[in-house]
Amino acid sequence: MTRNVSITLQNTDDARPIIEAIEQDNPDAVVHHYPSMVKIDSPGQLTVRQSTVEEKLGRDWDVQELHLSIISLSGNVDEEDEYFTLSWQ
């Protein structure tokens, strides 16, 4: 059985383009809406891609800006200049 990884982001103007990018790049991801926050579960792996977020935002976006919007996560983290990935091996 593939376990879910998960990321929870604030429901803010800063985070919405990130949420949209995650939805686009991770077709298996399921988005749950709660008051003031959004929890996204994805089987086995989830990637936040810099290029997709930049496309949504219309400006340069440093992957580390994720720190401003993230609330919680579940999974092993791999972060590089171009992406941020959560996974269970």
Partner 1 sequence: MSVATKARKLGLKQRYALMTRGLGWETTYQPMDTVFPYDTYEGIKIHDWDAWEDPFRLTMDAYWKYQSEKERKLYAVIDSFAQNNGHLGITDARYVNAIKLFLTGVSPLEYQAHRGFAHAGRHFRGVGPRIACQMQSIDELRHAQTQVHAMSHYNKYFDGFHDKTHMHDRVWYLSVPKSFFDDAMTAGPFEFLTAISFSFEYVLTNLLFVPFMSGAAYNGDMATVTFGFSAQSDEARHMTLGLEVIKFMLEQDEGNTPIVQRWMDKWFWRGYRLLALVAMMMDYMLPKRIMSWQEAWEMYFEEAGGALFEDLSRYGIRPPKYHEVAAKEKDRISHEAWGIFYNYTHAAAFHTWLPNEDEMAWLSAKYPKTFDKIYRPRYEQWAKMKAEGKRFYNNTLPQLCTTCQIPMGFTEPDDPTTICFRSSEYRGERYHFCSDGCKDIFDYEPEKYIQSWLPVHQIYQGNCGGAELGQVLDWYHINQGADNLDYDGSPDQQLWDKWMSDRKKAAS
Q: Is 51 in the site for partner 1 (CB under 8 A)?
A: no
Classify 21 as helix, strand or coil: helix
Residue 46 CB, nearest distance to partner 1 (Å)? 12
Strands 76-79 and 83-87, bridge-based pairing: antiparallel
Q: Is 64 in the site for partner 1 (CB under 8 A)?
A: yes
Among 28, 30, 51, 88, binds partner 1 (CB under 8 A): 88
Q: Is 28 in the site for partner 1 (CB under 8 A)?
A: no
- The DSSP line for 54-88 is HHHHTS---GGGGGGTEEEEESEEEE-SSEEEEE-
Q: Which residues bind partner 1 (CB under 8 A)?
A: 3-6, 8, 10, 34-37, 63-65, 67-81, 88-89
